Amino acid sequence: MKFPYGLADFAAVISEGYYYADRTQYIHEFEQASKYLLFLRPRRFGKSLILSMLENYYDVRKKDQFEALFGHLHIPKLCEI
Protein backbone atom coordinates (compact mmCIF):
# COMPACT_ATOMS: atom_id res chain seq x y z
CA MET A 1 0.00 0.00 0.00
CA LYS A 2 1.42 3.35 -1.05
CA PHE A 3 0.83 6.44 1.08
CA PRO A 4 0.67 9.84 -0.63
CA TYR A 5 2.98 11.65 1.78
CA GLY A 6 3.44 15.18 0.46
CA LEU A 7 1.28 14.52 -2.61
CA ALA A 8 -1.58 17.02 -2.88
CA ASP A 9 -2.90 16.13 -6.34
CA PHE A 10 -6.18 14.23 -5.94
CA ALA A 11 -6.22 12.90 -9.51
CA ALA A 12 -2.68 11.54 -9.12
CA VAL A 13 -3.49 9.96 -5.75
CA ILE A 14 -6.48 8.10 -7.19
CA SER A 15 -5.06 7.18 -10.60
CA GLU A 16 -1.69 6.01 -9.27
CA GLY A 17 -3.23 3.77 -6.62
CA TYR A 18 -2.22 5.59 -3.46
CA TYR A 19 -4.18 5.08 -0.26
CA TYR A 20 -6.93 7.70 0.03
CA ALA A 21 -8.98 8.23 3.20
CA ASP A 22 -12.33 9.07 1.63
CA ARG A 23 -13.51 12.53 2.64
CA THR A 24 -16.01 13.03 -0.16
CA GLN A 25 -18.93 12.69 2.24
CA TYR A 26 -18.05 16.20 3.44
CA ILE A 27 -18.75 17.81 0.05
CA HIS A 28 -22.44 18.09 0.91
CA GLU A 29 -21.56 19.69 4.25
CA PHE A 30 -19.22 22.17 2.54
CA GLU A 31 -22.05 23.15 0.20
CA GLN A 32 -24.38 23.78 3.15
CA ALA A 33 -21.78 25.73 5.14
CA SER A 34 -21.36 29.47 5.19
CA LYS A 35 -19.87 31.47 2.36
CA TYR A 36 -16.32 31.34 3.78
CA LEU A 37 -14.62 28.16 4.92
CA LEU A 38 -11.56 28.05 7.12
CA PHE A 39 -9.59 24.82 7.49
CA LEU A 40 -7.79 24.87 10.82
CA ARG A 41 -5.71 21.72 10.71
CA PRO A 42 -2.06 21.03 11.53
CA ARG A 43 0.61 20.86 8.88
CA ARG A 44 0.65 17.72 6.72
CA PHE A 45 -2.98 16.98 7.53
CA GLY A 46 -4.42 16.93 4.00
CA LYS A 47 -5.78 20.46 3.55
CA SER A 48 -4.33 20.83 0.05
CA LEU A 49 -5.51 17.36 -0.92
CA ILE A 50 -9.07 18.22 0.17
CA LEU A 51 -8.94 21.38 -1.95
CA SER A 52 -7.63 19.36 -4.88
CA MET A 53 -10.47 16.87 -4.38
CA LEU A 54 -12.99 19.73 -4.49
CA GLU A 55 -11.30 21.15 -7.58
CA ASN A 56 -11.62 17.81 -9.39
CA TYR A 57 -15.22 17.40 -8.23
CA TYR A 58 -16.42 20.79 -9.49
CA ASP A 59 -14.23 21.18 -12.61
CA VAL A 60 -16.50 20.85 -15.66
CA ARG A 61 -13.46 20.09 -17.83
CA LYS A 62 -12.96 16.85 -15.89
CA LYS A 63 -16.52 15.55 -16.17
CA ASP A 64 -15.34 12.68 -18.41
CA GLN A 65 -13.04 11.50 -15.61
CA PHE A 66 -15.68 11.67 -12.87
CA GLU A 67 -16.40 7.94 -12.76
CA ALA A 68 -12.70 7.04 -12.70
CA LEU A 69 -11.93 9.53 -9.93
CA PHE A 70 -15.05 9.33 -7.77
CA GLY A 71 -16.88 6.13 -8.78
CA HIS A 72 -15.51 4.04 -5.93
CA LEU A 73 -15.85 6.77 -3.28
CA HIS A 74 -18.71 7.87 -1.06
CA ILE A 75 -20.02 10.88 -3.02
CA PRO A 76 -21.74 9.03 -5.92
CA LYS A 77 -23.85 7.19 -3.34
CA LEU A 78 -24.93 10.54 -1.86
CA CYS A 79 -25.79 11.91 -5.31
CA GLU A 80 -28.22 9.04 -5.93
CA ILE A 81 -30.35 9.96 -2.92
How far from the centroid of its chain's Cα atoms is residue 71's Cα? 12
Residue 4's pLDDT is what?
Answer: 87
Where are the alpha helices (H) located in 2-74, listed in sequence order?
A: 10-15, 27-32, 47-58, 66-70
> What one-character DSSP code corresponds to residue 65?
G
Instruction: Indicate whether 45 belongs to any domain.
Output: yes
More confident residue, 74 or 77: 74
CA 8 to each of CA 11, 26, 35: distance values in angstroms, whole numbers, following the listed order: 9, 18, 24
Could you give the CA distance from residue 8 to residue 53 in angstroms, rounded to a whole number? 9
User: How many domains would you assign to the chain?
Assistant: 1
Residue 60 φ then ψ, to 5°: -65, -30
Domain that holds residue 47: 10-80
Instruction: Indicate whether 4 belongs to any domain.
Output: no
Question: How does pLDDT run across 11-50, given as a tens digit for each residue?
Answer: 999 999 999 999 998 888 888 888 888 878 788 788 899 9
Question: How does pLDDT run across 55-65, given as a tens digit for each residue?
Answer: 999 999 999 99
What's the whole-number average pLDDT of the chain? 88
Residue 81 has pLDDT above 60, yes or no: no
Residue 79's pLDDT is what?
Answer: 64
Statement: the pTM of the whole predicted model exceeds 0.85: no
Instruction: Indicate whether 3 belongs to any domain.
Output: no
